[in-house]
Structure 1
């Protein structure tokens, strides 16, 4: 086994995924009606980042064999032999405990409880139970990535109201079309690893139809804060614009008949835009809150 260094442990935390988690958590924290002292706000975001990293590490610990069968994950530290599974397990459990305890001490027990629940949901419900067993893994498992804005809000206020629930719902409904767009052009990887993603189980046509169908409730949830009086026109018009583009791309995906990844330009466009969509949508939540103060 090659000697491990800090970069291998950092890679276990899935830093690219963590960046989106941290951003949406920060937006939830900044959108709350009150504020935290800067040191406590930084600590809350740090705890969420550590919790997300812990979940990523435990996911890779459990899926090391699966990752070795997939081209896009074969060079991760565990399948590539740069780390052993016991190290990954201890690292993940240690980060989990540190993030939850520190969150409870720095903010409140509700935020710490939701953080703990998000880690357990991702590792046990999604990774161990849903992902290897059902094509609906992303539909239900999407809740795992939807917790951060809820945690950020709860860290500030100590409660959960309609607005953070809507932020949770947006990410929950965004996850299926986002991941199904990806799975369409990497379906061979999932098939080789024995993961029952929707394109593997139901085929390309059905998956493309599901992408479009799931886009409609996502759009409704994303626009809802404005007519409900929870956000103003800055958020409202930004949301409408972003959702029109998302819907247009989803329609293109639904109409595409390509079978080879090289010809799946609409799917790649939707996947790429879906990340920008979430960044700009949540940035608009914060802008609307602070500009209209």
Structure 2
């Protein structure tokens, strides 16, 4: 039976309804992404999150179109998110490269378009381009990713549209308490990347004890925590049984005490942050470089025909 969580939506500040739970495809090849997308949609998922940087928009696009055919769905039944690559930021570059992203995704619009990171000296021009795409109807909602309070204040000072979503690293180890409060005040929804927190969180004794009490896995327990915190979640998996299990969090609830125990795990330590990037450090030698992931199957999935 499909989890009720997959049918639940939240209303963004512009009135668009966004699912609260979906599938992420980071570090997936085009073949893996296409398969994951088809499996997820077959099992009731309606939200898919990708990015140009992941290098798998072609696979995601194929997976979406094949899943629409196989499950007798319409495009409007799905909520698709992608992101502007750091290396494409700037007004004209964003507009040009977004058109190419739509082609790879085999779509005429996306439901949510995010700025992947607030690249120094460029993200306000990029935001202006997102506003144009929004007003043209090429995107239904616009937002940002990895934006802190200062970055959001910079957009607020433009006195124009505010982001509808900010996708942040969020899990028991990184809970963004102050930022979440700020966003709530601005009407910006929080969406989690890395919602499970990796091995450290999944193997934590507190998480394991709470999971055992409810007869759930550590992953399900963490995802339930994220959900009860009011955070939109997009866990990644390439395995059907895990895709199904990740969403099976509608039949239990964490108590107030259990929530507090998990909240106490917070370290507010990002696995990667602005200062790690070359564009912030000003050094290609010591900073993380912005590269689009390369998969050998990209061209195959650009040409692959949907089976009717």
Common topology (TM > 0.5): no
Indicate the structure with greater helix content.
Answer: 1
Judging by fraction of residues, say which structure has more strand. 2
* Higher-RCO chain (CA-CA 8 Å, sequence separation at least 6): 2
User: Structure 1 length normalisation: TM-score?
Assistant: 0.27
**Alignment TM-score, normalising by the size of structure 2:** 0.26
